[in-house]
Amino acid sequence: MKIEQRLEALGIALTVPMAGPGQYGKRYGKMKPFVLSGRVLHLSGHSPGMENGLVRYPGRLGADVSIEEGYLAARHTGINCISTIKRAIGDLDRVTAIVSSINFVACTPDFFEHYKVTNGMTDLFDEVFGPDIGLGARATYGAPSLSDNYCFETSLIVEIDGPAP
């Protein structure tokens, strides 16, 4: 089954990446949303994004955000990542591996279940790409705060089947 068909079967709609072509611009500083180098696609920091102009799941785990909400925030972040991957390479079936992710959970100092939050994203990648492609290495760190009061952010490295045509 093609990845886009699997997304449809799972009821997952891709998002429209917030940034246009080129750099993100002034809001978060000058950077590209992704860089494609040969067979390796690097995604800049991605978050759950906004809904109706408001941050999805704002706050910190251990204070104002539950583990279940954090899981959903990570899942939304994964959908945003898949949307950027599609924008970068055109065909999601070109993905050969989710190589690794570096994840940040905004949390209180006494919150110790970061992995339960990040599972929202990695469970999604497993569902969409299957375990051989969708499960990669990962690390998750607690942070006192993240930009715009997001509770989750990731940076992703993806392998594809070859350079862009």
Q: Quick one: pLDDT band at residue 162, thresholds 50, 70, 90?
A: confident
Decide if pLDDT at 48 tops 80. yes
pLDDT of residue 21: 47
pLDDT in tens, 91-107: 999 999 999 999 999 99
114/103 Cα distance (integer angstroms): 9
Say what angle helices 114-129 and 67-89 make with each other, to 10 degrees.
40
Domains of the chain with CATH codes: 3-13+47-160 (3.30.1330.40)
Q: Give me the sign of the Cα torsion angle 123, 13, 158, 100.
A: negative
Global pTM reads 0.92
Nearest to 141 by CA among 88, 109, 102, 99: 102
First CA to last CA distance, the chain = 23
pLDDT in tens, 107-118: 999 999 999 999
Q: Quick one: pLDDT band at residue 25, thresholds 50, 70, 90?
A: low
